[in-house]
Structure 1
């Protein structure tokens, strides 16, 4: 009998890609969504059941789990944008921390404590990292730079607590900057969107950018999903694993990749509104634990991800 997988946040960027990949592997997929950040076309095509659930309300989670009875749960539901956490700190904490608590309590209450729970934490929990500390391993102390990072640290700590105190089978996925086609609302998406506009003749007033000096290790979502499946099968219960890109790029290097084959390059303009109030200088994680546990490696270079995202944006803009 094929195993059943429930994805909270299936309407998000990673959720859609994960649902498709799991279905292709023969898993029976269901999931919940609330204020989806991506089109629901992909989840609708690959999930057997979809539930409209706000994870801040525990009874709704309990009802869905009782109805579907999953073998594996991916907890992706979150307010996932750092910039939004400056505007909506309470909503961010309620969704990310209380929502995680509600899921764990629901799993216990409905008798699904044997489920493997893949908890989507974030490298944002590490926060402020010194250059000499990079690449950071899973023992790196949490020093979050904003409410989003704090909420991810809280999720992560809850995962550790419910593993130790209640014996839940929880694996913590500390996900780095995950990008690819259908991604919106972050720097690679913003840059590739503007490049697509430029190529289509729709960008007239220059190419706005924020801080170009920070560094990020970007990971294509298609590689990330393969890491998830490897850890789902081979990960050790109670452990945390970094899932991120292998190389850190400055945002300036990213910009150069986005514009590298662009004839008549647009004028690059610094837009103060795109500069975060607080910004971590670098995200770069040690992936040794993930690789040793699963044999995973990053296969899609950032250059290909950027090209694929530009093409996706062009197609989206032409049909809009």
Structure 2
């Protein structure tokens, strides 16, 4: 089997590539925006349908894992990469006749504001995104569903909750803390500035996420959505405490309620996933 992994230079895509490459019978190729000639990579601008089609025809994948994502503040850029990039991949697979299995990686941000009583969230909960990123990912999901129903595309959605792994974007809490800890140890800053720590999120490790995504790819039903999550809420204060201890730091280096740290549209108090549908796939192994 041959996998094309988009976003191969990102934290998620690069981790998944390394993980999958260790599996027998898998040939893994990563797609990146700019390639400097490294082996195992193809160059592809995900806003360019011609470039995407060229990459697909070159690799001839049995599976495509669309992990490339824009997490900028620009709605146009997020839609171009997250939603329209997915559409271009779907068009390329359809026109090539390859019939590849396509895993579109979504996000819990698609759900938007969640009342505490709604937890744990199931995959059929209505989408009410309140961020540019969430809107673009919700559109990606809708496009995937359209191609399943209109063209019979072999698509599954892996809706990822909060990842806990090195190298994450600084707009994500673990990535922001990780980068500040690095700067603190270098002497570049004196305090770790953090906003509201009372919110709770569903965090999943890179290893567990990779395993669940693979279960979804191999055993998921075409057109269905599956959560990639732990199913357990973790308060950000608890997560920060763990990260401090891992780095032999204490709370004296933390400055809470930094100005501007809480961003409108992102302050969902509690959200965690119902993972029973995804876990049912592991019993198929």
Whether these two folds match at TM > 0.5 is yes
Aligned residues: 279
Asked if structure 1 preserves the Cα contact closer than 8 Å seen for 2:33 and 2:45, the reply is: yes
CA, structure 1 residues 73+263, in 2 after alignment: closer, same or farther (shift >3 Å)?
closer
SS state at 1:117 partner: strand
SS state at 1:173 partner: strand
Deviation of residue 204 (structure 1)?
A: 4.5
Question: Where in structure 2 are the equivalents of 1:222-301 lying within 5 Å?
Answer: 222-260=207-245, 262=249, 265-279=252-266, 280-295=268-283
* TM-score w.r.t. length of structure 1: 0.81
Return the alpha-carbon distance in structure 2 between the equivalents of residues 157 and 91 of structure 1. Answer: 18
CA deviations over 1:103-161 (Å, ceiling 9, x no partner) = 1111111222x211111111111111110000100110001011110111111111111
Asked if structure 1 preserves the Cα contact closer than 8 Å seen for 2:6 and 2:65, the reply is: yes
Asked if structure 2 preserves the Cα contact closer than 8 Å seen for 1:136 and 1:285, the reply is: yes
Question: Where in structure 2 are the equivalents of 1:68-107 lying within 5 Å?
Answer: 68-79=59-70, 81=71, 84-85=72-73, 88-107=74-93
145-154 vs 277-286, which deviates more? 277-286
Asked if structure 1 preserves the Cα contact closer than 8 Å seen for 2:196 and 2:256, the reply is: no
Return the alpha-carbon distance in structure 2 between the equivalents of residues 134 and 267 of structure 1. Answer: 30
Return the alpha-carbon distance in structure 2 between the equivalents of residues 196 and 11 of structure 1. Answer: 20
Deviation of residue 256 (structure 1)?
A: 2.2
1:119 partnered with 2:104:
yes
SS state at 2:253 partner: coil
Aligned to 1:7: 5
CA, structure 1 residues 110+285, in 2 after alignment: closer, same or farther (shift >3 Å)?
same
Aligned to 1:305: none
Return the alpha-carbon distance in structure 2 between the equivalents of residues 168 and 206 of structure 1. Answer: 50
Question: Where in structure 2 are the equivalents of 1:24-103 lying within 5 Å?
Answer: 24-26=22-24, 27-34=26-33, 44=38, 49-79=40-70, 81=71, 84-85=72-73, 88-103=74-89
Which stretches in structure 2 are left out of the alignment for 5+ residues? none
1:214 partnered with 2:213:
no
* TM-score w.r.t. length of structure 2: 0.91
Return the alpha-carbon distance in structure 2 between the equivalents of residues 264 and 248 of structure 1. Answer: 22
CA deviations over 1:291-315 (Å, ceiling 9, x no partner) = 111149xxxxxxxxxxxxxxxxxxx
SS state at 2:120 partner: coil
SS state at 1:66 partner: helix
1:134 partnered with 2:119:
yes
CA deviations over 1:187-226 (Å, ceiling 9, x no partner) = 112223333444x362543220022222111111111001
CA, structure 1 residues 267+122, in 2 after alignment: closer, same or farther (shift >3 Å)?
closer
Return the alpha-carbon distance in structure 1 between the equivalents of residues 169 and 47 of structure 2. Answer: 24
CA, structure 1 residues 295+124, in 2 after alignment: closer, same or farther (shift >3 Å)?
farther
Which stretches in structure 1 are left out of the alignment for 5+ residues? 297-320
SS state at 2:156 partner: strand
- C-alpha root-mean-square deviation of aligned residues, in Å? 2.1
